[in-house]
Amino acid sequence: MSFFILHTNDFHNKLTSEKAERIRELKQSLGDRCLLLLDAGDAISAGNLNYHLRGEPILDLMNACGYDAMTLGNREFHFTKVGLRCKIGRATFPILCANLYEKDSSFTYSRPMDTYFASSPSLPLQPAFIRTAPLQQKVLVVGLTVPMITARMASRSISAYLFENPLKVATEMIPRLQAWVQPDLTIALTHIGVAMDRRLAESVPTLDLIIGGHTHELLPQGEWVGDTLIVQAGCYARHIGYVEWDFQRGRGEKGRLTARVEAL
C-alpha cells in the first residue's frame, strides 16, 4: 500500500490564498494516504532581525492547508524571546528544531525522552514529532536548522538562544530517538541546505528521508545518498513535493520511497 508525504519549503511569504487552497485540496484528495504535510522553513515575510508584533499571516494560510509540522528556518528565528514568539506564534502546528537551546541552560542529550516531543513556555519549539499512520506505522520527524548564533559568536551576548551544530546533534540524537520510538520511517526536516543534507545522510545512515530547504533547489526526483532519499521543492510556492512510500509491513524491509514535484 502506498502513502504520501507532501512537502514545501522557502515560501518567503509568496504563498497566496489560491495556492494555499490548492495545497489543502491536494492533501484532502489523498485522504488517509497522505501521512504528512510538512514545510522545511523560511515561510514568513520578516527578515532575520525584524519581526511583526501581530505575527505572520502566512501561518494562518498554512494552518488552513492542514500542515502537520514545519522546521524552523533562519527567517523564523529571532534572538529575543518576544521576537521568536511573534514570528511563529500564529502556527497551530508544531515548529521543530532539535539544535536550538536557551543560552541560560546548556545543551544536553540527557533528558527524559518524552520532552523531545513537546515545547516549553520559554522555548516554543520541539525537537521532534511522531505521526502514527493508518496501518499503525510510526513516522519520526526531527527538525534541524542552520546555526544563526552559536556559543563562539560575539552576538551570543545579546541572544536568548544558541544553536548547536546540526550534524553533531543529529548524530547523537537521532539514534537515541529511533531506539526509543522504533519508527517505521525516520525523516529529518531540515533547513540547512542540500550540501549539508548530503553530509547529514552520510553521518546518520539510518535516516530514510531528508526533506530540506534553505538553498532553494528543485530536486524533481530527489537524490540518493546511500539508503537516504534527499528532496527539496524549490522556493516561492512554485512547486510542491511528493514522496511516495510503498509500505510493506512484515516483509522485512521499510518499503520503497520515490519522489516527484508538481507545479502549484
In the chain, the domains with their CATH numbers are 2-263 (3.60.21.10)
What stretch of H or E contains 186? Answer: strand 185-191
CB atoms under 10 Å from CB of 260, counted, come to 15
The overall average pLDDT reported for the chain is 93
pLDDT at residue 249, as a whole number? 60
What is the CA angle 244-248-251, rounded to 5? 145
Write out pLDDT tens, residues 151-169. 788 778 888 899 999 999 9
CB contact at 8 A, 61 and 21? no
Q: What pTM did the predictor assign?
A: 0.95
68-91 tens-digit pLDDT: 999 999 999 999 999 999 999 999
- Low-confidence stretches of the chain (pLDDT beneath 70): 249-254
| pLDDT recorded at residue 253 | 59
CA distances in angstroms from 249 to 1, 138, 214, listed in the order given: 9, 12, 34
Residue 14 is predicted with a pLDDT of 97
Q: Give the whole-angstrom CA distance, residue 65 versus residue 59.
A: 10
Q: Over the range 213-228, which residues count as b (16 or more CB within 10 Å of their CB) and which as e?
A: bbbbbebeebbebeeb
For position 156, what pLDDT does the model report? 83
